[in-house]
Structure 1
Amino acid sequence: MPLTVPPPILTPDFGPKADVPSIVKGVIDDIRQNGDAAVKKYSQQFDKWDPKAGFKLSQEKVDEIISQVDPQIISDIKEVQANVRKFAQAQKDHLQDFEIEMSPGVHLGQRNIPIASVGAYIPGGRYPLLASAHMTILTAKVAGVPNVVACTPPIAGQIPANTVAAMHMAGADHIYLLGGVQAVAAMALGTETIDVCDFIAGPGNAFVAEAKKQLFGNIGIDLLAGPTEVLIVADEKADPYMCAVDLLSQAEHGPDTPAVLITNSEQVGRETIQHIENLLPNLSTRELAGTSWKNFGEVILVRDLPSAYALADQYASEHVQILTENPREALTAMKNYGSLFLGANTCVSYGDKCIGTNHVLPTRKAAKYTGGLWVGKYLKTCTYQEVTDDQASGRLGELCARSARAENFEGHARSGDLRAHMLLGRKYDWIEESKPS
């Protein structure tokens, strides 16, 4: 039975709902036709940003910006990036190239080849999300991507120095102060001053997500991220205060963040609701967090933990936090989640900011079919084959011809026939006497 969740927070007026797909299409079409001039126009329109020196930051400008960053922030960026790098490198180390001999003289292999050029979008409209620089840029560089173009918007007309520092330290080859659809379209299509990228990664608002969706096919993308999601599975021994704090920690991402608690304890559920109502008034981000909680918050009471895990799998949430006596049970009990956070010592915010796993994760039930951004997204797993034994090639030719003719592919069959003719001496009516014997 659901528990009610009515925090007394008013919903702010965000104005009439925009026709996001049409707006995005118009911007993309304009940039496709007019390049830098269109990019400049939309930067002025959407971000009030028109730098005289252009959108790209020179190395001298980057150095100047970084010199203004608090040394403690620089130190923290280094530590966080070391964590992200270590985990991404471990992922890459488990992706091995290989070659096997299927039968004598028949060699098949696989290589993991880095994408040549990646565009990384680092959001910054509401918050300076420097952590996204670690997740998108650094992971691409660990994968071996030789060219990473990184874009982030100005914030209220100002350069986000901390984010620029994170982008540079993550290994970005080119940094642009450019945001929104215009940034994504410029990286995907190329302009007079921005080289075209083969792949774009990074989270963003609804307009950024729609731009990635419309441009997919021209370029590859990591995934289509929606609003941040958090789901907590808690048993009767969970701390309701911790449940409340952790739900609000994600609800502050925006006004449309689902924050869900599934518990087998009515007491935990009701106390969590009460704690949230008490905590919200003193939270600096209460307008966003309160709106999300009012409109998308849920506390659901279930019979037992197996029921909780089963229901959580139906939600397939981006972040799933397990606050139970035996949290590692979730590793076998659950299948659908962006990332799991096991136990009271492990909060979702660790994954967002510093622990080392990637925070670009599937939302809107996409966790039912995909995981999040990781080093493998920047690698093309490509196969190759070589047949060095004549007899093996001839036998494959016969097998290929029979298989192809079963599908009415005569041209395919003749490629097999030719090898069987050349290497095994087989006779085929279609092969002229003058052809190789």
Structure 2
Amino acid sequence: MVLYLKSRNVSGAFSASQLSTDVPGIVKGVINDIRARGDEAVRFYSEKFDKWSPPSFRLSSAEIQKIIATVPKATYNDIITVQNNVRTFALAQRKSLTDFEMEIRPGVHLGQKNIPIGSVGAYVPGGRYPMLASAHMTIVTAKAAGVPKVIACTPTIRGEIPASTIASMYLAGADEIYLLGGVQAIAAMSIGTSTIEKVDFIAGPGNAFVAETKRQLFGEIGIDLPAGPTEVLIVADGKACPTTVATDLLSQAEHGPDTPAILITTSKEVGEQSIKELERLSKILPTAELASVSWNTFGEVIVVGWLDEAYKLADTFASEHVQILTENPREALEKMSNYGALFLGEKTCVSYGDKVIGTNHVLPTKKAARFTGGLWVGKFLKTVTYQEVRSHQESGELGRLCGRAARAEKFEGHARSGDLRAYKYLKDRFHWLSSGRPDTSPKI
């Protein structure tokens, strides 16, 4: 049984001007201009898009300390507490990734190493609000992985320097901090200019233009995830509190006007009461201008017959955030597999993951949770392999095997690399090694 108490209503969700904006085209033009003109183009677009054009986009140590001095002591202390949570979890993840070497056959050694990426660009958005947590999630995690150099960029917010964000970037361990945002920040870090060093990898969320810039530059640099609008889905049984459901859905809907907010419940009463609470709370929420648009346009309430059906349906959404408000929330760990992050029980909310608890909030959207997890310490590591054959006998045997395997695929060059070892260590004879003269042997 599936009953829709509220379905999406995307008709008219966006204005004609929004729908007609050529985001890929605009981004491509900015990237090409920065390739051609470097810092001059970066400054041009920063002035054009953010009305920001200081003598230097990079903050000096003195400027950073001056900005941090304006941050309230309570906020400063909270930043340290949250970053300790993120760092503790990231270091535990790093510890779980061990290097190893094994002897697969006598004298044949295979190994694996986890090497940190050389340099990372961390983008901390700030279009509507200061996004302190994004600094924690990107910079702290990269440093926990052992990345030697992290360059961090964040925009001004309506012309103001976001002091608490700068403090977060500094305390997280950023090696360089730039007051620079949008396409121009991502492109400058990815391409490199005379004043901004090219990085190997870009991490961090952003708006549609930032996401598109990362998409277009992927390949030149690595990226964490292709980002879309924030998503939240709640699975609830008949004992769930409608006020909790409504509050937690709206908490995510305030990210923007295009956030899918979905409730799947086994109780029609919980569904109906949650809708009433959502309507009531959305009228008094200070960020209702965004949250109510997301709820009215992309909100869904679905009633199903039993919890197994709820978990199965939730997996088809593959939502970024999945909150479990049931009597036995840990059941979802066994029943579900497609999600960015799970939040188990009423005492745990998605906002904890977004802001303070220590797991990473950069998570897959647009059903990417079907094939990937979110940002974690492993994203900043290159897992590489190495091999060494120490035994003459084994090198020769592998040469024989390689010769047969390669010729089955018509790769004669590969086969001859194997032949050479079989000749050298097992004294096998090969026509190609004697240039057609079986009575001659090469000096190897």
Q: Say whether the fold is shared (TM-score over 0.5).
A: yes
Determine whether 1:344 maps to 2:353.
no
Q: Find the counterpart in structure 1 of residue 25 from structure 2.
A: 22
Distance (Å, rounded) in 2 between the aligned partners of 1:424 and 1:393: 9
Structure 2 residue 48 is the aligned partner of structure 1 residue 41: no
Secondary structure of residue in 2 paired with 1:73: helix
- Name the % identity: 65
Measure how far apart 1:126 and its partner are: 1.1
* DSSP-derived class of the 1:138 partner: helix
Q: Name which of 240, 243, 251 aligns with 2:242.
A: 240
| Number of the residue aligned with 2:162 | 160
Give, in whole Å, the separation in 1 of the partners of 2:441 and 2:70. Answer: 78
Which one-letter code corresponds to 2:101 in the other structure?
E
Q: Give the counterpart of 1:436 among 414, 426, 443.
A: 443
**Aligned counterparts, 1:250-289, within 5 A:** 250-289=252-291
Code of the aligned partner of 1:232:
I
Which residue pairs with 2:437 in the alignment?
none
Structure 1 counterpart of 2:311, one-letter code: Y
Question: Secondary structure of 1:200's match?
Answer: strand
Residue of structure 2 equivalent to 1:61: 63
Q: Give 1:249's aligned amino acid.
A: S
TM-score (norm 2): 0.96
Q: Structure 1 runs of 4+ off > 3 angstroms? A: 10-16
Deviations 1:221-272 (A, max 9, x none): 0000100000000000100110000000000000000000000100000000
Partner-residue secondary structure (3-state), 1:386? strand
**Pair 1:274–1:6, CA change in 2 (3 A):** farther
Structure 2 counterpart of 1:143, from 130, 142, 145: 145
User: Are residues 1:308 and 2:315 paired?
Assistant: no
Contact 2:8/2:300, CA 8 A, preserved across alignment: no
**1:370 — aligned with what?**
372
What residue is the counterpart of 1:50 in the other structure?
53
Code of the aligned partner of 2:215:
K
Q: What displacement does 1:16 show?
A: 3.5
In structure 1, C-alpha distance between the alignment counterparts of 2:240 and 2:416, rounded to whole Å = 68
Aligned equivalent of 1:318, options 303, 316, 320: 320
The secondary structure found in structure 2 opposite 1:123 is: coil
Residue 169 of structure 2 aligns with an amino acid whose one-letter code is M
Matched position secondary structure for 1:191: coil
Partners of 1:74 and 1:13 lie apart in 2 by: 40
* 8 Å CA contact retained: 1:125, 1:153: yes
What amino acid sits opposite 1:435 in the alignment?
P
Name 2:134's counterpart in structure 1. Answer: 132
**Alignment check: 8 A CA contact 2:6 2:299 kept:** no
Measure, in 2, the Cα distance between the counterparts of 1:240 and 1:20: 39
Q: Is the CA contact (8 Å cut-off) linking 2:94 and 2:145 kept in structure 1?
A: yes
The equivalent of 1:408 in structure 2 is 410
Match of 1:353 in 2: 355
The whole-number CA distance in structure 2 between the counterparts of 1:247 and 1:109 is: 47
Q: Is the 8 A contact 1:351 1:358 kept in 2?
A: yes
Aligned to 1:96: 98
Give the Cα–Cα distance (whole angstroms) in 2 for the partners of residues 230 and 238 of structure 1.
Answer: 16
Equivalence map 1:158-237=2 (5 Å)? 158-237=160-239
Distance, in Å, in 2 between the alignment partners of 1:88 and 1:436 is 54
Q: Which letter maps to 1:382?
A: V
Listed one character per residue, the Cα deviations across residues 387-436 of structure 1 (whole Å, up to 9, x for unaligned) are: 00000000000000100000000000000000000000000000023413
- State the 1:15 CA deviation: 4.0
Structure 1 segments unaligned to the other structure (5+ residues): none
1:84 is aligned, of 83, 86, 91, to 86
Separation in 2, partners of 1:67, 1:158: 16
How much does 1:201 deviate?
0.5
Q: Secondary structure at the match of 1:125?
A: coil
Contact kept in structure 2, 1:422 and 1:436, CA below 8 Å: no
Q: Quick check: 1:324–1:343 contact (8 Å CA) kept in 2?
A: yes
Return the alpha-carbon distance in structure 2 between the equivalents of residues 307 and 236 of structure 1: 14
Q: Which residue matches 1:118?
A: 120
- AA of the residue aligned to 2:43: K
CA contact 2:235–2:310 (8 Å) conserved in 1: yes
User: Which of 287, 290, 293 is equivalent to 2:292?
Assistant: 290
Residues 54-101 of structure 1: CA distance to partner in whole angstroms, max 9, x if unpaired? 100001100000001000001000000000000000000000000000
Query: Residues 417 and 242 of structure 1: is their aligned pair in 2 closer, same or farther, counting only changes over 3 Å?
Result: same
Structure 1 residues 393 and 267: CA distance shift in structure 2, 3 A: same
Q: Which amino acid aligns with 1:436?
A: K
User: Aligned partner of 2:407: which letter?
Assistant: R
Whole-Å separation in 2 of the counterparts to 1:41 and 1:4:
46
Quick one: which of 2, 5, 8 aligns to 2:4?
2
CA distance in 1, matches of 2:148, 2:336: 37
- Contact map agreement 1:5 1:273 (CA 8 A) in 2: no
**Displacement, 1:174?**
0.4
In structure 2, the partner of 1:393 is 395
The count of aligned residue pairs is: 434
SS at match of 2:286: coil
* Structure 2, unaligned runs of 5 or more: 435-439
Confirm or deny: 8 A CA contact 1:259 1:293 kept in the other structure: yes
8 Å Cα contact 1:314-1:336 kept in structure 2: yes
* Residues 199 and 159 (structure 1), Cα distance of their counterparts in 2 relative to 1, 3 Å cut: same
